[in-house]
Amino acid sequence: MFWDRYRRYGRVFRTMMLGSRIWVVTDLDALRGPLRDQGAYLEVPFPTFQRLVSAESFLNRPGVHGPWRKILSATLAPPRLAAMVPRITQLMKSHLSKWEAQGQVAIFRAARVMGVDLAVDVILDIKLSDGTDRVWVKSQVENYLDGLYGLPINLPGSTLAKALVAREKLVEVFLRQPDVAATQAQFVKEWEAIGKSPAAYAAAVLDQHAVSSSTGEKAAASASGEMEEQQQQQQQQQQQEAAGGSRPSVLPPSIMTAQLMGRAMLKPSELEDGAMSLLHMLVASADTTRFALFNSWTLLAMCPRVQDKLYEEQQKVVAEYGEELSYAVTCHMPYLDATLKECMRLLPASAGGIRKLTADMKVGGYTVPSGEYVWYHAGLLHYLDPVCWDGNTAVDVPPHMDWQNNFEGAFRPERWLSEETRPRYMFTFGTSAHLCIGMNLVYLELKLMLCMVLRKYRLRLKTPDMLVRCERLFPFFLPAKGTDTVLLEPR
């Protein structure tokens, strides 16, 4: 759809999406300022999204985004990712064992369930200490996510109505968790003590992180989970006491620490902010991961050639490093790296991002007025990659994007392995000031999953043309009922 508009109207055109008027802009020079928050800020205009996230954003408050991003980056830095590996693999194994018992998996549903499980149990690590049913909580998370990009119709039984109810229930549940209340209360004390300055607060958190990351690396090396985490905290506390208490005591870098700080810039911090922090990160992490899983499994299941090359690479990895999967081992899989980038290029798991202009934007002979929304659309930009595309707009689909009629030519991980053929555009995880904080985590999750599966099985779609038969391609693929079975064929 966007490619056809591009062919007709060129580098900038207007579209209506979920009730909002947006300008799709493909001119990267014109976008440079807005992507650095100059003359624009990040805002999602869709009414259902705004209503459910109910967030006046703190990202456009001066001086907040940088410190907030620093805390989040420390939260997902390599030693932290390494320490997450045992829990990710454990969770994935429990999913895989169910699929193995059936010899197949309905991949669309399985990707959703795994995306939600990873978000709730690993990324946000939500503790439900009052006996609240975890399965029920996850069903509410799904209802909430289902409403985000739906129609803005709040009638009984609509996805929006269910999502609004789910949001209330989830906030209520999160508020009851002692972790949330204690973290928020501690944050308020620290925030006031530090003079309510995001820069000073982030510096204190990162300073503390400098102590914990060295112990974090040790934990990563031995990857032995929670016991060690507790030992680290004790050790860290002792180090702080030994330093005469001169280091300000602040919460460790975490998603909630960053989010609480950001929200405190909008209004005095309240208990509900802890709960909303969790909800917002569920939005950022659950369904995005779901589509990354679904899109990459699907492409691989369509391509025995790439699966065989991945299998060969895995055999070498096992010969050199043994069977066990760790963060360090996943860093020695260049063909798998290339394959995942290729999956995210050909079938992006996001549609890029949207900015609200605060200054006029000149682009392609037009002036897009201040106050309008502009969209850098990941998939469309990948069509226009200067290395992959020869500039020919006469074709229905350029060969490097044409998975429908030119699958083997379009899906080529090899293109990432040499400087001459390496694509220059990769917008699936955004770019510039707001580049996705979770990108490395997502690649890690995808790698772990594929290592586990491809070492043992060949994947094959039971309905080979599942993608072509999808009932909807935008904003995301929706397979026709019963067509998304992937067969696991033992090697």
* CB 445, min distance to ligand HEM, A: 8
* CB 22, min distance to ligand HEM, A: 12
Compare residues 46 and 429 and give the one whose CB is closer to ligand HEM.
429
Compare residues 202 and 317 and give the one whose CB is closer to ligand HEM.
202
Q: Which helix (H) or strand (E) holds 318?
A: helix 304-321
Compare residues 67 and 398 and give the one whose CB is closer to ligand HEM.
67
* Rounded CA separation 293/86 (Å): 19
Compare residues 35 and 317 and give the one whose CB is closer to ligand HEM.
35
* CB 285, min distance to ligand HEM, A: 3
The token pair at 323 is 């069977």
Q: Which residues contribute to the site for ligand HEM (CB under 6 A)?
A: 42, 59, 69, 72, 123, 281, 284-285, 288-289, 292, 349-350, 352-353, 428-430, 434, 436-438, 441-442
C-alpha 210 chain-centroid distance: 26
* CB 381, min distance to ligand HEM, A: 11
95-to-7, 99, 425, 455 alpha-carbon distances in Å: 44, 7, 33, 16
* CB 419, min distance to ligand HEM, A: 25
Please give the single-letter amino acid code of residue 39: G
65-to-125, 199, 233, 246 alpha-carbon distances in Å: 24, 10, 28, 27
Compare residues 284 and 318 and give the one whose CB is closer to ligand HEM.
284
Compare residues 50 and 406 and give the one whose CB is closer to ligand HEM.
50
* Rounded CA separation 141/34 (Å): 32
Q: Flag whether 470 is marked binding.
A: no
* Rounded CA separation 262/57 (Å): 9
* CB 312, min distance to ligand HEM, A: 26
User: What pairs with residue 104 in β-bridges?
Assistant: 487
The answer to whether the beta carbons of residues 381 and 374 sit under 8 Å apart is no
User: What pairs with residue 366 in β-bridges?
Assistant: 363
Compare residues 80 and 162 and give the one whose CB is closer to ligand HEM.
80
Q: Which helix (H) or strand (E) holds 457?
A: strand 457-461
Compare residues 353 and 398 and give the one whose CB is closer to ligand HEM.
353
* CB 439, min distance to ligand HEM, A: 7
The token pair at 302 is 């369509």
Could you give the 3-state DSSP secondary structure of residue 467? coil
DSSP-assigned letter for residue 61: S
* CB 455, min distance to ligand HEM, A: 23
b/e burial code for range 184-197 (CB count within 10 A of at least 16 → b)? beebbebbeebeee
Please give the single-letter amino acid code of residue 213: S
* Rounded CA separation 454/450 (Å): 6
Q: Helix-strand-coil percent breakdown of the chain, rounded to 5? A: 55, 10, 35
DSSP-assigned letter for residue 465: T
CB within 8 Å of 51: residues ≥ 6 apart: 152, 160, 164
CB within 8 Å of 154: residues ≥ 6 apart: 160, 161, 164
Compare residues 52 and 381 and give the one whose CB is closer to ligand HEM.
381
Compare residues 475 and 482 and give the one whose CB is closer to ligand HEM.
475
Q: Which helix (H) or strand (E) holds 280?
A: helix 271-301
DSSP-assigned letter for residue 489: E
Residue ranges at the known binding site for heme: 436
Residue ranges at the known binding site: 436
